[in-house]
Each structure stands twice: as structure tokens, then as C-alpha cells.
Amino acid sequence: MSRRSPARRPDHRPDHRPAHRLDGIPPTIFAEMSALAVRTGSLNLGQGFPDEEGPAEVLAAAVAAIQGGANQYAPGIGIPALRRAIVDHQHRHYGIELDPDTQVAVTTGCTEAIAASLLGLVDPGDEVVVLEPYYDSYPAMLQMCGAVRRPVTLRSPDFRVDLDELRAAVTPRTRFVLLNSPHNPTGTVLTRAELEAVAELAIEHDLVVITDEVYEHLVFDDPDHPAHVPLATLPGMAERTLTLSSVGKSYSLTGWKVGWATGPAELVGAMVAAKQWMTYTSGAPLQPAVAVALNEHPDFPRALSRDLQERRDLLVGGLRDAGLPTSTPQGTYFATSDVRELGWQDSAAFCLALPERAGVVAIPVQGFYDDPAGAGRHLVRWAFCKQRDVISEATARLAAADLHA
């Protein structure tokens, strides 16, 4: 005799609550502010996507790959031609030697590489040292992994690493460092001395470092600003560093979502072990085109960096003229302003008011800190990876508007 399910109340509704692992994780601020820009018709200096395309030959290579039949699953770790191109890229720029079959894997952008690396390596309860403010996927994924964040705060206006705070963040339960340089959202590029301090701690405490270097080529030529140094090139770090990057920022192809992980075979393998249950593979016709970008246009990122430096200077100067004290970033797409002199103590309130007042959208930085009322409550991030006329129009609108609280 079959058993019947208990009778349900007429007013019963399914329980659609998200899993508890998502408790407290808000929707990404980038989607919210970009939607605000569209809704209000404002100029979007919030989300970091460029207004211009990458090399025409690379775009044509993607079209040719589609027309040539590269439209089915690629190998889970990426096509051989792209893995070889990534190996050559790492050697050409940094002198790093890698095995393309065991020490390289292609990912669906750097964001998936971050997620898969953490899911593949971090156990619940593991402590992870991470620079604050965070790219917003970091705390979300660390929470999903059950990890414990150990923040080291970069404070305005200089956004340098406090080496005493860095050392204090490491405890007997710490297993990983999640590093980002050039750093989003502050634009800081870590100095060799700062990286050496990370390396010293990693070796002393037997830590693995997962390093997000997605802005590796977007570093500017100011005399007082450091060049990007991959952590894996420092003594003793090649065997304990998993390096993540992508084609998106360096070649103005952010929508392609083609990234990679490189490093010791065991670390890359752990990342792949998680990735295979996520996307498994993606972007089959884009992968040969990315190989073309890396192999045949190795100087494009350098030219892009020079161009972005000019746009940075245009934006920073315009923001300062509009009454917004703004730090000069050493790399990335982003500059950060302090809104306290205009009477604002809450950057989110400032950013929500900005479209109506000036027709411009920016990103509040306070959401990238554990405590929104703490060190970043008064900071706003602007993107300068936009056309010059857009930057000029945006800063003119800001200068003409009443931005006071």
C-alpha cells in the first residue's frame, strides 16, 4: 500500500530562500550601478569596461575560428595553442618557465579562476589573508568556501600595505594569501619591498599564495611608481604561488571572458578539479584568437597602458578641479576620490545622488570593506578606461553640478 504525502495547507508556498552560504552576500555593486546608469541615461564611470575594442586582427581571428568550425567543446584545460601562448607570454615578460601540459589551464575569465582556485584549495575554517578593499568576488567566494578572512587594510590616500598589520594577520590557522596587484579598486601597485614581505611570510608559515594579476600590464610610467613584479618570480615563491590573469583587461576584450591560471602542477590541478564542475570549458572559438593576441600582438598592452595613463591624468585632473580630492593610481583602470570635503560621510549615498545631480555614475568603495562604516566609507571609485570625450564630458558635468551634501 503506497504512502501518501502529508496534506499541504491551501496557502502553502515553496521555500525559495537562497542557501545559507549566501547569507549577507549582496548583489554585485557593478550590476546595480550599471543598471542605474542605463535607467538614468548617465555617463557610466563605474564599471570597468573599455569603450574601445582590442586589436582588429584578434577580432578577425575569432571570426575566422567560428567560420572554420571551432565551435564545439575545447579541452577542459584549454586548447594547446593557447596554453603554449600563455607559457610564452610568461617567459617573454617575466622569465617564468612553465610546462604547458601541467602548469597552465584556461578559465572563463579571471573571476572563474578565482572561484575555482578557492573552491579547489580552501577548506572550511582555513584562514586567508586578503588585502582590503576587496574585488567583490573575493569575500563572496571565501564565504562560500567557509573560509575565514584575515583582512589587511590599504588606507587612503596612499593605499600602501602596513607591514606590521600584514604580519599580525597571519596566525597558526592561516593557510593562504589571496593577493591582488595591480590592485582593484585602489590602483595601487605593490612595491618589491611589499611583495618581499608577503613572500617572507609565505615561506616562514608555509602558505600558498593565490595572486590575481589581471591588470599586470596596465601599470604606468610615473617615476615614483613601481613596475609590476609577479610574486612567482621572487625567491622561493614559484613553488607556492598560483598566478591568475586574463586577456580581458590587457587587450580590451573584457566580454570574451578568457583567463588562465599558471603555477605548480598541484595547484593548477586543484583549480581544474573544481573548474571541471563549473564551466568545464568555454569560448572555444575565442581561445585561438587569444593565442593570436598573445603571440602576434605582445606590444598592444604596453601601448594601451600609455594611452590609459593619459586618460588617467585627464580624469584625475578633472575630478580635482570639481572639488574631489583624488589619489593618482599607479595601475589598473581606476581612480579613487574622497567625498568628505564635499560634506559626504557615506559614499553610497553620494553615488546614488550623483546621476540626478550630475548625470554621472561611479562606484562606492565602502562595499569593498568588511565594515562599510570603516576605512572606505568616504571613498568613490571612477573608471578611466573610457573615451577621452566621455571623460571630459563627465568631469565637466561634475564641475558644473552642486556636489555638496
Q: What is the pLDDT of residues 293-346, one digit of tens each?
A: 999 999 999 999 999 999 999 999 999 999 999 999 999 999 999 999 999 999
Angle between helices 56-67 and 286-296 (to 10 degrees): 150
* 335, 248, 294, 82: CA torsion to nearest 10: 150
Q: Determine the pLDDT at residue 8.
A: 57
Q: Determine the pLDDT at residue 35.
A: 84
Q: Determine the pLDDT at residue 367.
A: 87
DSSP label of 151:
E
- β 127-132/148-153 pair status: parallel
Query: Domains in the chain, start-ordered, CATH in brackets?
Result: 25-54+300-400 (3.90.1150.10), 56-296 (3.40.640.10)
Q: Determine the pLDDT at residue 38.
A: 83
Residue 41 Ramachandran class (φ > 0 left, ψ -120 to 50 alpha, else beta): left
Q: Determine the pLDDT at residue 1.
A: 44
Q: Determine the pLDDT at residue 27.
A: 79
Q: Determine the pLDDT at residue 2.
A: 47
Please list the ranges in the chain whose pLDDT falls under 70: 1-12, 223-226
Predicted TM-score (pTM) of the model is 0.93
Q: Determine the pLDDT at residue 228.
A: 94
The answer to whether 259 and 77 are in contact (CB under 8 A) is no
Q: Determine the pLDDT at residue 53.
A: 93
The answer to whether 346 and 376 are in contact (CB under 8 A) is no
162-180 confidence digits (pLDDT tens): 999 999 999 999 999 999 9
